[in-house]
Amino acid sequence: MGKACFVVHKHDASRLHYDFRLEIGGVLKSWAVPKGPSMATSIKRLAVMVEDHDLEYRDFEGTIPEDEYGAGTVMIWDEGTVTWEDDKDPVEMLEGGFVEFALHGKKLKGRFKLVHAKLGGNERNWLLIKRKDDHAETEDDLLTRKPDSARTGRTMEQIAADKSPG
């Protein structure tokens, strides 16, 4: 299947959250991850599937105006490529409710999985889980250790003010 892209947008809308996006079937399949991704294998993060986005959206970093859906500041927190476990078809994995992949990002690296959890009877609920590999960590502090944009190095405040880093 080869490599596809992924992006994680840090999004300060009505609440701060992270939008985890994988290129699948020509679009960015997207999940809102309220607490953000973790590199710790002991942590399972709720990931709520949201609407698909066009591939071009992976390049967006800026501010969505107040009168538009998703209003707030958006940062490219991480980006890179994704490969599918055992070269499986990602569309088939998604339909089966169990997506296994490896991320090759600036911050997120190694093997992960998304599991359709249907928590509380909600069909949109999935779990994002880091799998054991050489990149796994025991601490859940990646978001605080590396808070700035993977592409521009800017903070959320600098993006909101449309300023360069430093």
Q: Report d(CA 13, CA 7) in Å as an integer.
A: 17
What integer is the mean pLDDT of 30-46?
A: 97
For residue 100, count other CB atoms closer than 10 A to its CB.
17
What integer is the mean pLDDT of 4-32?
A: 97
Q: Report d(CA 100, CA 21) in Å as an integer.
A: 14
Indicate if the pLDDT at residue 46 is higher than 60.
yes
50 alpha carbon, distance to own chain's centre: 12
5 alpha carbon, distance to own chain's centre: 11
pTM exceeds 0.85, yes or no: yes
List the one residue out of 51, 19, 43, 58 whose CA is nearest residue 112: 43
List the one residue out of 107, 155, 111 whose CA is nearest residue 133: 111
Residue 118 vs residues 47, 59, 108, 149: alpha-carbon distances, Å: 11, 30, 25, 32
Q: What are the residue boundaries of the structural domains of the chain, listed by start?
A: 3-158
Q: Which helix (H) or strand (E) holds 132?
A: none
For residue 33, count other CB atoms closer than 10 A to its CB.
20
pLDDT at position 164: 81
What is the end-to-end Cα distance of the chain in Å, rounded?
A: 40
Residue-wise pLDDT for 63-117, tens only, equals 999 898 889 999 999 999 999 999 999 999 999 999 999 999 999 999 999 999 9
